[in-house]
């Protein structure tokens, strides 16, 4: 198999997709397949650093704006809180694509042209994507079998304004190649697309019996060099791992609350990872780092506190670590948090509930949550991970 992986490369930045596609790429190469990527921006650079063959695609900007305005908005978005009342959910996948500048037919035409060139140059016989619109259009044009990372929540939002704008953007591209118009959900989630779900049925509502669905438990690949942080655990100590993104708990709030929960003479050491931290420092028993090697830390953890990203949730559960999740208003994170809570492996809190009292009360239920997390760990492992995904991709459309 010659697998071309097209990666959604938003200007605002996300490492989740990179983690998943690197897991696929590593498993494919281990199985003797050839792999190349289509990517742009910081993800293109990251893949090249990892030694992969990468075909460059046109860079994106927020809302399709000029690059300097996009960079300004990106920096602002990393510092601002979303003005949404606790308990509310906002967004859908079409809004994400709109914000990422992908609701423009002129951009999509250039993107598809480059991806078709890449497919021909690489002589690809299979495509895989983590929600890159160009991959779905390229598959429709070339007929190459396509598999995509998938979650039930991303099907929501049909008929909304962002959905309509995406539909308007893809129509001229399909027409240019002599193809009939397709609704976005048909193009992205139709039965011709193999849906690879990096989760388990307990944490996702997709019917596992569908012929176009394959649960694989997890897709977690290495994206940071192990030398980034030389983590040396203190003998006999247990840890709490904290990772929260934009739209969740601010760094200032973490600095205020966590040292009260984790005093120097307490039960746990708390490790906080955030890209906005310039250099490590410590407050009480709380250590703040620009990056935390989760794989090294999680085996020593009793809790993970996070924003509800799928990778962090699955990674924690792979080590039997229960979660306290503060998703803010982001639609996908709220869905993930509710599924974890329903499964009994942790609790979901609103941003205004991030208090000393709420955290301490939740910690008293560690034993029961850890028991459920351990059960989910075995379920996740049983689905085969990236090797199972690669096997399904090789068989799809063959």
| Cα radius of gyration (the chain) | 21
User: In the structure encoding, which two tokens stand for residue 262, read together?
Assistant: 């984790």
Q: Starting at the edge strand that comes first in sequence, how are the strands of the sheet with 268-273 ordered?
A: 281-283, 286-289, 268-273, 238-243, 301-306, 323-325, 346-348
CA dihedral of residues 82, 86, 88, 91 (deg, nearest 10): 20
Give backbone dihedrals phi and psi of 269, rounded to 5 degrees, phi first.
-105, 135
CA dihedral of residues 242, 245, 250, 255 (deg, nearest 10): 20
Give the ranges where 123-160 is alpha helix by DSSP (H): 133-142
Query: What would the pLDDT profile of 373-382 be if each residue is shown by its tens digit?
Result: 999 999 999 9
Q: How far apart are CA 47 and CA 384, in angstroms?
A: 24
**CB 93, CB 43: distance < 8 Å:** no
Q: pLDDT > 90: what percent of the chain?
A: 73
Position 78 scores a pLDDT of: 46
Q: Please, which residues bridge with residue 36 across strands? A: 4
CA dihedral of residues 202, 205, 209, 215 (deg, nearest 10): -60
Position 13 scores a pLDDT of: 53
**CB 204, CB 198: distance < 8 Å:** no
Query: What would the pLDDT profile of 209-255 be if each residue is shown by its tens digit?
Result: 999 999 999 999 876 544 445 678 888 899 999 998 777 898 999 99
Q: How far apart are CA 152 and CA 41, in angstroms?
A: 28
CATH 3.40.50.2000 fits 2-218+384-395, yes or no: yes
- Let me know if the fold of 2-218+384-395 is the same as that of 226-381: yes
Position 248 scores a pLDDT of: 85
Q: Look up residue 355 and give its DSSP letter.
A: S
Position 354 scores a pLDDT of: 96
User: In the structure encoding, which two tokens stand for residue 155, read together?
Assistant: 């099907």
Helix H, strand E, coil C: the string for 257-270 is: HHHHHCCCCCCEEE
- What residue ranges do the domains of the chain occupy? 2-218+384-395, 226-381
Query: What would the pLDDT profile of 116-156 be if each residue is shown by its tens digit?
Result: 999 999 999 999 999 899 999 999 999 999 999 999 999 99
Q: Look up residue 234 and give its DSSP letter.
A: P
pLDDT beneath 70: ranges in the chain: 10-16, 63, 65, 67-84, 223-230, 398
Q: Which residue has the tokens 């655990």?
A: 233
CATH 3.40.50.2000 fits 226-381, yes or no: yes
Position 222 scores a pLDDT of: 72
Cα-to-chain-centroid distance, residue 336: 11
């Amino acid at each position: 198999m010659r697998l071309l992986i097209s990666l959604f490369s938003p200007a605002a930045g996300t490492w989740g997709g990179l983690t998943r596609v690197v897991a696929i790429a590593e498993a494919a190469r281990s199985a003797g397949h050839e792999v190349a990527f289509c990517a742009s921006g910081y993800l293109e650079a990251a893949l090249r650093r990892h030694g992969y063959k990468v075909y460059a695609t046109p860079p994106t900007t927020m809302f399709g704006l000029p690059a300097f305005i996009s960079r300004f908005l990106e920096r602002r978005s990393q510092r601002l809180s979303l003005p949404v009342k606790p308990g509310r959910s906002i967004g859908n996948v079409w809004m994400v694509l709109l914000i990422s500048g992908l609701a423009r037919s002129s951009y999509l035409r250039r993107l598809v042209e480059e991806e078709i060139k890449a497919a021909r140059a690489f002589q690809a016989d299979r495509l895989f994507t983590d929600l890159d619109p160009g991959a779905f259009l390229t598959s429709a044009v070339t007929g190459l079998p396509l598999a995509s990372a998938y979650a039930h929540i991303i099907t929501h939002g049909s008929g909304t304004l962002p959905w309509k704008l995406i539909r308007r953007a893809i129509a001229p591209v399909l027409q240019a190649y002599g193809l009939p118009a397709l609704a976005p959900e048909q193009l992205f989630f139709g039965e011709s697309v193999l849906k690879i779900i990096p989760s388990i049925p307990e944490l996702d509502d997709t019917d596992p019996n569908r012929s176009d669905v394959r649960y694989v438990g997890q897709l977690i690949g290495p994206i940071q060099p192990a030398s980034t942080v030389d983590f040396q655990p203190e003998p006999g100590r247990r840890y709490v791992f904290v990772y929260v993104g934009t739209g969740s708990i601010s760094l200032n709030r973490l600095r205020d609350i966590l040292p009260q929960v984790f005093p120097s003479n307490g039960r746990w050491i708390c490790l906080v990872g955030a890209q906005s931290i310039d250099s490590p420092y410590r407050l009480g028993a709380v250590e703040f780092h620009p990056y935390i090697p989760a794989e090294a830390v999680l085996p020593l953890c009793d809790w993970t506190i996070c924003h509800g990203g799928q990778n962090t949730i699955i990674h924690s559960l792979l080590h039997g670590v229960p979660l306290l999740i503060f998703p803010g208003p982001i639609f996908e994170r709220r869905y993930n948090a509710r599924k974890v809570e329903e499964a009994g492996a942790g609790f979901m809190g609103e941003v205004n509930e991030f208090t000393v009292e709420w955290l301490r009360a939740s910690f008293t239920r560690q034993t029961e949550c850890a028991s459920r997390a351990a059960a989910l760990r075995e379920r996740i492992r049983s689905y085969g991970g990236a090797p199972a995904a690669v096997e399904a991709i090789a068989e799809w459309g063959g």
